[in-house]
Chains A and B, each alone.
Chain A
Amino acid sequence: MNFLFAVVIGILYAAGLYLVMRRNVAKLVLGLALLGHAANLLIFTVGGLSRDGAPIIPPGAERLAPPYADPVPQALVLTAIVIGFGVQAFVLVLVKRAYRETGTDDLDALRSTDS
């Protein structure tokens, strides 16, 4: 299972980086989204993949009986997904406005603010 996840994460990173390096702004946005997903999946995997065992102490028991899943990576991923959603929504609007104002979707043409 870990191996499968590692391969999927690798593909997501490769695809994300490839898209980020394209000249088209729309592909840039998709690339950034994929990189975010890759990072989320990485946290999830590195935190330990395990089935069964919710980390909730059953009534009457004093402590958690292993095996149980670590809830922290899931909390991290949940937070990161929410933040990523907000940021991507903003980026989409920004790119659309930038396209309308500058009249181009070619990143190589956006060099008037470069030095």
Chain B
Amino acid sequence: MRALVVLPVLVPLATAIVCLVLRRFRTAQRAASVGGAALLLVVAAALLVRVDTAGIQVLQVGGWPAPYGISLVADLLAAIMVLLTGVTGLAVAVYSLGSIDAAREAHGYHPLFHVLLMGVSMAFLTGDLFNLYVAFEVMLMASFVLLALGGEPAQLEGAVKYVTLNLLSSAIFLAAVGVLYGVAGTLNLADLALVVQRGTAPGLFTTLACLFLVVFGIKAAVFPLFFWLPASYHTPPVAVSAVFAGLLTKVGVYALVRAFTLVFTGDPALTHGLILAIAVLTMVTGVLGAAAQFEFRRVLSFHIVSQIGYMVLGLGFFTPLALAGTVFYLIHHIVVKTNLFLMGGIVERLGGTFELGSLGGLYRSRPGLALLFLVPALSLAGIPPLSGFWGKLILVKAGLDAGHYVATGVALAVSLLTLFSMTKLWNEAFWKEPPEGSAVATARVPWTLLGPVVALAAVTVAVGLGAGPVFDLSSRAAAQLADPSQYVRAVLGAQARP
């Protein structure tokens, strides 16, 4: 069953091909898209169960032994991330049925969506740095086209900014990979970990660590490299925004976690201290940026930045408990953030706009939806017993244990400001009197929009109420991250020595 490791890459690829072939038959294409996304979820769940029971799964592609071939590695973190990709993918695939117009569908929305999922899964599963670059490019190419598909002026303008910053990041990534190969003679992550343990050229490795921090920092949208995100994420259709918000920046966070737990651990005082400072500044700037916004999706875009800060914070603390906090936060955040964007789409459908000033009164016509919105919104702010509370609790506990009182204090203050932002959204869209002359919301919300939103809210509640098992899972994933020798042995065999 080693093929299970490669299935999360193959399933979206096959789905994309099928969707491409069926592009003239709208109904069949839509069925294939949703079916493929559901299959990805099943495969991902099977992979997580397998990894959790049988340990780290490795597939040497083409039978070439590591470090000469390309290894696909599924440890617990990777498997969890792939499962979240499956959850997000299925939710957005269903939501797309009711929200993506026929012209976009005819011009390849569904194949591109699945190519995006393929790139994301490959980035999570690869055990080779150059392969990670390729996965990033696959993902970026799909995201470029999804962002620009439709060709509205705002979309194209946002795409120019998004594409520029991401290409810049890719160029730096490529250069850093090249120099790393020149220094270490390998790009296999497990083999690189051994090279670092041997103590080869520590100064050069620290320099390279900073280059990779910039590269993955741009992808993850950390301070001060986040400006492309709020300038572009609010321009495409909501379904596209939602899948970007849920998954793309998190690939950057994943790459940071992977690189800075497995490879760049030679000088944690410098690198992880830097990450900690970046995390604090990211949380603060993101949440302050959100406070100044009055457009539904722009508020949420700035909150992505702020929340990235929390995830990176756990990496900055760099203790097993803090890493568990980061993993828990990733689980919580991907579901909640996707859901908030999807909710934003429903609000727009009902109120006709994303501008908070022109919205209002939705509580009167849709009380159920208003309450439903509170689930992800309050979870994002960290209100117990929802999932965000536990994620923050773990991080705060880890921060206090490690003696980082300032960073922990900032994290708590930022969560208060997050509550302010979420209350603003709720007040403006649902609670306040509708502005003079605005139409009464009479549009029907189809089940294709409501279903994913309800399902994701249920997942949020389940993660909150079942925080114990989820925390145990995160802890096991963090234990693997804190002890890189497990990863190295799984990839290179038991006799691997530094």
Chain A interface (Cβ within 8 Å of chain B)?
16, 20, 25, 28, 32, 35-36, 38-40, 42-44, 46-48, 72-73, 76, 79-80, 83, 86-87, 90-91, 94-95, 97-98, 101-102, 107, 110, 112-115
Does the CB pair A39–B171 fall under 8 Å?
yes
Listed A/B pairs (21) with beta-carbon separation below 8 Å: A32-B164, A32-B168, A36-B170, A42-B179, A43-B177, A46-B178, A47-B178, A47-B181, A79-B134, A90-B141, A90-B144, A95-B160, A101-B153, A112-B153, A112-B154, A112-B157, A113-B157, A113-B232, A115-B230, A115-B293, A115-B298
0/1 per residue, B139-178, Cβ < 8 Å to A?
0110011001001111011111101100110111011011
Does the CB pair B178–A42 fall under 8 Å?
yes
Point out which of A47, A80, A91 has the most chain B C-beta atoms below 10 A from its C-beta: A80
Q: What secondary structure prevails in chain B residues at the interface with A?
A: helix
B348 within 8 Å of A (CB atoms): no
B392 within 8 Å of A (CB atoms): no
B residues 104-158 near A (Cβ < 8 Å) are 130, 133-134, 137, 140-141, 144-145, 148, 151-154, 156-158
Which residues of A sit under 8 angstroms from B144, Cβ to Cβ?
A: 87, 90, 94
B231 within 8 Å of A (CB atoms): yes
Which residues of A sit under 8 angstroms from B152, Cβ to Cβ?
A: 101
Also in contact, A113 and B231, with CB within 8 A (given A101-B156, A102-B153): yes
- Closest beta carbon of chain A to B28's beta carbon, Å: 28
B23 within 8 Å of A (CB atoms): no
B234 within 8 Å of A (CB atoms): yes
Partner of B141, one of A38, A80, A87: A87
Which residues of B sit under 8 angstroms from A113, Cβ to Cβ?
A: 154, 157-158, 161, 231-232, 234-235
- Bound together, the chains give a CA A46 to CA B182 distance in angstroms of 5
B484 within 8 Å of A (CB atoms): no
- Bound together, the chains give a CA A94 to CA B157 distance in angstroms of 9
Which residues of B sit under 8 angstroms from A87, Cβ to Cβ?
A: 137, 140-141, 144, 167, 170
Which residues of A sit under 8 angstroms from B130, Cβ to Cβ?
A: 76, 79
Which residues of B sit under 8 angstroms from A102, Cβ to Cβ?
A: 153, 156-157
The 6 A-B residue pairs whose C-beta atoms are closest, nearest first, are A43-B178, A46-B182, A39-B174, A98-B156, A35-B171, A39-B175
Q: How many residues of B contact A (CB 8 A)?
A: 45
- Bound together, the chains give a CA A114 to CA B161 distance in angstroms of 10
Does the CB pair B164–A20 fall under 8 Å?
yes
- Bound together, the chains give a CA A91 to CA B166 distance in angstroms of 12
Also in contact, A38 and B178, with CB within 8 A (given A91-B167, A110-B160): no
Partner of A98, one of B145, B160, B175, B232: B160
B289 within 8 Å of A (CB atoms): yes
- Bound together, the chains give a CA A24 to CA B232 distance in angstroms of 19
Which residues of A sit under 8 angstroms from B177, Cβ to Cβ?
A: 43, 76
- Closest beta carbon of chain A to B61's beta carbon, Å: 14
Does the CB pair B178–A76 fall under 8 Å?
yes
- Closest beta carbon of chain A to B227's beta carbon, Å: 8
- Closest beta carbon of chain B to A48's beta carbon, Å: 7
Does the CB pair A38–B175 fall under 8 Å?
yes
Does the CB pair A47–B153 fall under 8 Å?
no
Does the CB pair A36–B171 fall under 8 Å?
yes
Point out which of A28, A42, A107 has the most chain B C-beta atoms below 10 A from its C-beta: A42
- Bound together, the chains give a CA A38 to CA B137 distance in angstroms of 18
Partner of A94, one of B133, B137, B148, B178: B148
Does the CB pair A32–B159 fall under 8 Å?
no
Beta-carbon nearest neighbor of A28 in chain B: B164
Beta-carbon nearest neighbor of A43 in chain B: B178
Which residues of B sit under 8 angstroms from A40, Cβ to Cβ?
A: 174
Partner of B231, one of A35, A86, A94, A114: A114
Which residues of A sit under 8 angstroms from B163, Cβ to Cβ?
A: 90-91, 94
Which residues of A sit under 8 angstroms from B302, Cβ to Cβ?
A: 115
Which residues of B sit under 8 angstroms from A42, Cβ to Cβ?
A: 175, 178-179
- Bound together, the chains give a CA A79 to CA B136 distance in angstroms of 13
Partner of A43, one of B151, B172, B174, B293: B174
Does the CB pair B151–A101 fall under 8 Å?
yes
- Bound together, the chains give a CA A87 to CA B293 distance in angstroms of 33
